[in-house]
Amino acid sequence: MTKDGKIYIAGHRGMVGSAVWRALSALGYHNLIGKTSKELDLRNQAEVNAFYEREQPEVVIDAAAKVGGILANSEHPYPFLMENLQIQNNLIDGAHHHKVEKFIFLGSSCIYPKLAPQPLKEDYLLTDSLEPTNEWYAIAKIAGVKACEAIRKQYQKDFVSLMPTNLYGPHDNFDLKSSHVLPAMLRKFHDAKLNNETVTLWGSGTPMREFLHVDDLARAVVYAVENVLPEHLYNVGTGTDVTIKDLADTIQAIVGHEGAIDWDSSKPDGTPRKLMDVSKLNQQGWQANIDLKSGIEMTYAWFLENEGAVKEVKL
């Protein structure tokens, strides 16, 4: 891959897509393509095919998705299933028919069974039932993984899927109705600090989660751009996890909130534990290097600098 090769980043304004764009730009890749949802509706097959015909990208990075936390997935199951299927199917199939040789599909660790052995290995995919609170999104992402695997198997194209653990960082979604646990906590503690209030958090605080700074994921994507990975599916994470309670304590200290924390045990915890086995990608030469505390400090600094741009998300 040369530095002037044409690379299309779907979802380039999102947290993941913007991080990938920054990482590639920093390395001298200058022929990057990004389209807003108004410029290109990825749910529309005809529009996507016309885009491929016009632009002829050499590499496609699929960082576009409808995403959200437990509440959003529970209350809006159909769009989380159907819109994600539409987006990825159009991108994958269009890339195949327009002779794109390298396609990088980004998914989520939620593709793995709820009660799979820990840490989660790539081989555990489709071995048991999913976590009910986000199965709609997970099913869509599993379909994307299998589509890329099928193209790779039948046509020997370099289509690879990267499954990151829980992500956070600049340009995250901090809307309390649709965000994931870490940015939601950061927003809650920040607001509570300003208003001198108690913070109420869902569940018991006992589930364990792994968190990856989005800039580390971006480096994994760059690695996949610059190398031919021998298998179709790779986990991307830190290989370490913390309890939700420890996460809350860390964020509370970083934000400077001094009030109480009220754990609402009537709300669901979700999957008990979700730790990724990242040995396959580590063996290929990539590993995470941003520790959780430093990453949260950087994320909170970004949030404070961009608080006026943080908007409510419509589902």
* Domain contains 2: no
Residue 176 has pLDDT above 90, yes or no: no
pLDDT of residue 311: 53
Binding residues for NADP(+): 11-17, 106-109, 141, 164-167, 180
Instruction: Tell me what percent of the residues of the chain surpass a pLDDT of 90.
Output: 85
pLDDT digits (tens, 9 = 90+) for 189-216: 999 999 999 999 999 999 999 999 999 9
Count of CA atoms in the C-beta half-sphere (13 A) of 176: 12
Residue 67 has pLDDT above 90, yes or no: no
pLDDT digits (tens, 9 = 90+) for 257-312: 999 999 999 998 877 888 999 999 999 999 999 999 999 999 999 999 998 666 54
* Domain contains 314: no
Query: Which among 29, 137, 223, 234 is annotated as catalytic?
Result: 137
pLDDT of residue 130: 93
pLDDT digits (tens, 9 = 90+) for 47-63: 999 999 999 999 999 99
Residue 177 has pLDDT above 90, yes or no: no
Domain count for the chain, please give it.
Answer: 1
* Domain contains 30: yes
Residue 314 has pLDDT above 50, yes or no: no
pLDDT of residue 272: 81
pLDDT digits (tens, 9 = 90+) for 108-163: 998 999 889 999 999 999 999 998 888 999 999 999 999 999 999 999 999 999 99
* Domain contains 72: yes
At 41, which CATH number? 3.40.50.720
* Domain contains 297: yes
**C-alpha distances in Å from residue 3, one per residue of 25, 48, 253:** 9, 25, 42
pLDDT of residue 309: 61
* Domain contains 1: no
How large is the angle between the packed helices 214-226 and 15-26, nearest 10 degrees? 60
pLDDT of residue 204: 95
* Domain contains 144: yes
Residue 313 has pLDDT above 80, yes or no: no
pLDDT of residue 271: 72
Mean pLDDT of 171-176: 88
Task: Mark whether 52 is an active-site residue.
Answer: no
* Domain contains 315: no
Domain range for 275 is 7-309
Binding residues for substrate: 188, 202, 209, 269
pLDDT digits (tens, 9 = 90+) for 96-106: 999 999 999 99
pLDDT digits (tens, 9 = 90+) for 12-51: 999 999 999 999 999 999 999 999 999 999 999 999 999 9
Binding residues: 11-17, 106-109, 141, 164-167, 180, 188, 202, 209, 269
